[in-house]
Amino acid sequence: DIVMTQSPDSLTVSLGERATINCKSSQSVLYGSNNKNYLVWYQQKSGQPPRLLIYWASTRASGVPDRFTGSGSGTDFTLTISSLQVEDVAVYYCQHYYKTPFTFGGGTKVEIK
Amino acid sequence: QVQLQESGPGLVKPSETLSLTCTVSGGSISGYYWSWIRQSPGKGLEWIAYISSSGSTDYNPSLKSRVTITVDTPKNQFSLKLRSVTAADTAVYYCARHFAAGYSSGWYEYWGRGTLVAVSS
């Protein structure tokens, strides 16, 4: 199985400041034939299912504000929230879909300072 | 707008079978792949299995011996059975649609709200 490791476990950021979440996969999720990274980011608020934010490591899903940016390739990925808003308080997860079993990171909790 | 709704018992006894159904509305089950995913405090988010509308399946090896996923296309439903449950199977169970039509790679835009299943005598 590909192990997804997120850091930090939690993050406290002031309103309007940048939040950076890291995700590392135990093997590359870059598929050579199409040069795509098989990685997504989700946001999960309390009592709700995960919400898709980013797929192909850097493509924003429909309706996702442009303050959310995904970057990275191979085994190292980053989700950046450029200017943290109150509504961004949530747990963020990365997940690979390179092969089965699809696996998720342990989550990063983002709070307001 | 596609909507998914999980249904099934909220309490299952140890050693018995957990059975859940996901009903899809606002769109057809045909042409897509569909997954079950669970979330527990101890193990986080865990992909369980997927099925296509034509019945192709894949299972998480960690659960494969105990899991069966089926699809009922006329009813726009798919289902999960997890046998011989223990307390470790206590979790919120989600159903979800794979993002792209005809694509087995599992990333998910549409999720059900989730249903909490507790395993306890």
Give per-residue pLDDT as tens, B5-58: 999 999 999 999 999 999 999 999 999 999 999 999 877 899 999 999 999 999
Taking the CA of residue A13 and the nearest CA in chain B, the distance in Å comes to: 24
What token pair was written down for A43? 């946001």
Does the pLDDT value for residue B101 go beyond 90?
no
> What sign does the CA torsion over A96, B42, B113, A12 have?
negative
Please, is A47 exposed, middle or buried when counting C-beta atoms within 10 Å of its C-beta (0-12, 13-18, 19+)? exposed
Q: Give residue for tokens 């998910």.
A: B108
Q: Which residues of B touch A48 (CB under 8 A)?
A: 113
What token pair was written down for A72? 């990275």
Closest CB to A101 among B61, B96, B112: B61
Distance CA B112, CA A50 (A): 10
Closest CB to A49 among B99, B105, B114: B114
Residue type at position B35: S
pLDDT tens for A53-112 read 999 999 999 999 999 999 999 999 999 999 999 999 999 999 999 999 999 999 999 999
Note whether A86 and A112 are within 8 A (CB): yes
Terminal C-alpha separation, chain A: 36
Q: Which residues of A touch B46 (CB under 8 A)?
A: 104
Taking the CA of residue A78 and the nearest CA in chain B, the distance in Å comes to: 18
Check if A41 contacts B (Cβ < 8 Å): no
